[in-house]
Chains A and B, each alone.
Chain A
Amino acid sequence: MRRRKFEELFFRGLMLLATVIISGSLFLIVGTIFYKGAPYMNLDMITKTPGGGFYIGKAGGILNAIIGSLYIAGGATVSGLLISVPVAIFINMYINGKTFLANTLRMAYDVLFGIPSIVYGAFGFLIMVYFGLRASLLGGIIAVTLLVIPILVRTLDEVIRTVPSELGDATLSLGATRWETAKVILRQVRPGIFTALLLSFGRAIGDVASVLFTAGFSDNIPASLHEPAASLPLAIFFQLSSPVAEVQGRGYASALVLTIIVLFITILSEICIRKFYKQKA
C-alpha cells in the first residue's frame, strides 16, 4: 500500500519537475535576452542601418537585418504558398486524399520536414551556383522557400482535410469542376491558410543555416533581388562574436527584436487556429 502511494507521489513530483524545467527555461531564455539586450535597445537600433564602425561600437542599428529578414521570410512564404496550395489541392482533390499515392506524397513531405535547414542551404547554394547567382536576396529566398514548403504543404493538407466531403459534393452537384470546387474549399479554409502562412513565416525568419551562404550579408538594405541581404539571425551571430561589450549587448538587443517578432507571429497564429476551429465547430 505504501509503495503505491510512494509511486504516485514520486511520479507526480517528476512531472511537476519537468514542467517547471520547461517553463522555467522559457522564462530564463526570454529573461536573459531581455536583461542583456534591453539596455542597448533604442530607436536607432530598429530605424537605422549600421553606420561606419558599427561593429566596433559606433552609431547605427540593425534595420538592414530586420528588413532583410522580413524580405527573405516574406518572399519565401509567398513563393512557398504558390507552390504548396496546388500540391495540397492535388493531394486532396485530384488523387483523393486516401490513396496510396497521396499517402506516399505525405510521407515525402514528412521526410522533407525533418531535413536540417543547413541541407536546404547547401542545396540552395548548388542551385545558385548552377544558375551563376551570387549570394543574394534571391538566393536566400530560394533556399528558405525550399525549407518552408514542407511546413506549408502539411499544414494546408491538414486544414483541407477538416472540410467535410459533403461541401465538395455540394458544388460538384451544381456542375462545378474540381478546380471550381477547390476554390470554394480554399475559401472555406481561409483562416487555416493564414495560419499556415504565419507558421511558415515564423520558421523562415528565425532560420540561420539556410541563409548562411545563400543570402550573404550586407550593411545596406537590399535594393534588388540580386543584392546580398542581411538577416537577423546572422546579425546576432556576428555581433555576439565581437569582443566589444557594446556590440555584444547589441547582439542581445537584436535577439530581442527577433524574439518579439516571432512571439508576435506565434500569438497571431494561435488566435487564427482558435478562430478556425471555432468556426468549424
Chain B
Amino acid sequence: MYQEVLQTESVVAKKTHISVKGLNVHIGSQHILKDISIDIPDKKVTSIIGPSGCGKTTLLKTFNRLLDNSSDVKITGKVLVDGENIYDPNIEVTRIRKKMGLLSQRPYPLPMSVYENVAYGPRIHGTRKKALLDALVERQLRATGLWEEVKDRLNAPATRLSIGQQQRLCLARGLAVNPEIILGDESTSALDPVSTRIIEDLFMKLKEKYSIVLVTHILRQAARISDYIIFVYMGKIIEAGPAEQILQDPKEELTRQYVKGYIT
C-alpha cells in the first residue's frame, strides 16, 4: 500500500514524458516542422490534428527517431523523453524506441505466428525462458482483448487474422516491450467501424498506464477519445490545449476554421 502511494506520487512528480523544445525538421529543401515546442501530458490521450501534409505524422515520428532512416532529413532542437534529449548523439536509439510503442496506419504483422509476433520484442531484449514468454504473450493478448479469439491458433501465421485483429496484435506486440508511451499514426484509418471502436476503447483503457499520442485526421475521433489536442497547420503548432477547449472554444481563428471544417 505504502509502496503504491510512493509510486503514484513519483509519477505525478515526474515531468511530462515527452517535451519538445524548439524542434525544426527539414526534409530536403522543405521546412516540414517549424519551431515546435510542446509538452505532452502524462497518462492522457493527446491527439495531433491538422490537415493532411501539415506535418503531424512527421512530428509523431520525431518522438521515436523513426525519421533517422529517411534520407536528407535535418533535425534541430530537442525532444526530451523522461528528461533526456533523444537527439543527443551519444544516445542509444534502440533504448529510446523501446520506450514507445508504435501503431501504424495499417497493421504490419511480422512474418511469423501470432505467438511469435508478441514474443518478438521481449525476445530481442533478452527474455528467453519459455514460461516467461508464455505468460507475457497471454497477458498482452488479454490486454488487447485478443486472447479469447486467438488462443487456439497461437501458432497460425499472423496474416491469417482479420485486419482488425491484426491491428490489435500489433498493439499487443508493442505493449510486450513495456513501453511508457504509445504512438498511434492514424491507427484506425484502415479498419472497419467495429474494429475502430475496439481500438478506441483500448486506448481509453490503456491511458491509465501509458501516455498516448495519436495522429488523426478524423475530428470526431479526436473528440471521442482525446484529453488534449494539438492543432498543427503548415508545420507549426497553432494551438494546443484540453480537448474540449480546442473543439468548442478555440482561441485561434485558424483552429476555429479547421474545427468547423473550412480548412481540410
> Hey, which bits of chain B sit against chain A, CB under 8 A?
64, 66, 69-71, 94-95, 97-98, 100-102, 104-106, 108, 110-112, 120-121, 124-125, 170, 173-174, 176-177, 183
Contact = CB atoms under 8 A, between A and B. Distances in A.
Contacts of B121: 174-176
A166 B108 contact: yes
Given A168-B69, A180-B124, A173 B64 contact: yes
A175 B125 contact: yes
Nearest to B92: A175
Given A174-B120, A174-B173, A169 B104 contact: yes
Given A175-B121, A184-B110, A170 B104 contact: yes
A173 B71 contact: no
A174 B108 contact: no
B137 to A, nearest CB: 14
A98 B70 CA distance: 9
Contacts of A164: 108
A96 interface: yes
B36 to A, nearest CB: 21
A79 interface: no
Contacts of A107: none
Nearest to A99: B71
Given A168-B69, A171-B120, A173-B102, 14 more contacts: A169-B104, A170-B108, A170-B110, A173-B183, A174-B120, A174-B121, A174-B173, A175-B94, A175-B121, A175-B124, A175-B125, A176-B94, A176-B121, A176-B124
Interface in A78-106: 93, 96, 98-99
Contacts of B170: 170
22 contacts: A93-B69, A96-B69, A165-B69, A166-B105, A167-B110, A169-B66, A170-B110, A170-B170, A173-B101, A174-B97, A174-B98, A174-B121, A174-B174, A174-B177, A175-B94, A175-B121, A175-B125, A175-B177, A176-B124, A180-B124, A188-B110, A188-B111
Most B Cβ at <10 Å: residue of A96, A99, A175, A180: A175
Determine chain B's interface SS by DSSP, over half rule. Answer: mixed
A187 interface: yes
A175 B97 contact: yes
Nearest to B125: A175
Contacts, number: 70
A42 interface: no
Given A98-B71, A99-B71, A180-B124, A173 B66 contact: yes
Interface string A114-135: 0000000000000000000000
Interface in A177-200: 177, 180, 184, 187-188, 190
A165 B70 CA distance: 10
Contacts of A168: 69
B158 to A, nearest CB: 11
Given A174-B173, A188-B111, A166 B106 contact: yes
Nearest to B95: A175
Contacts of B102: 169-170, 173
Given A96-B69, A96-B71, A166-B106, A173 B100 contact: yes
B228 to A, nearest CB: 22
Interface centre among A96, A168, A170, A188 (most CB of B within 10 A): A170
Nearest to B117: A170
A96 B105 CA distance: 22
Contacts of A169: 66, 102, 104, 108
Nearest to A100: B71
A15 interface: no
Contact of A172 (B69, B71, B106): B69
Give the one of B70, B106, B120 with max A CB within 10 A.
Answer: B120
Contacts of B105: 166
Given A166-B104, A166-B108, A167-B108, A173 B124 contact: no
A190 B94 CA distance: 26
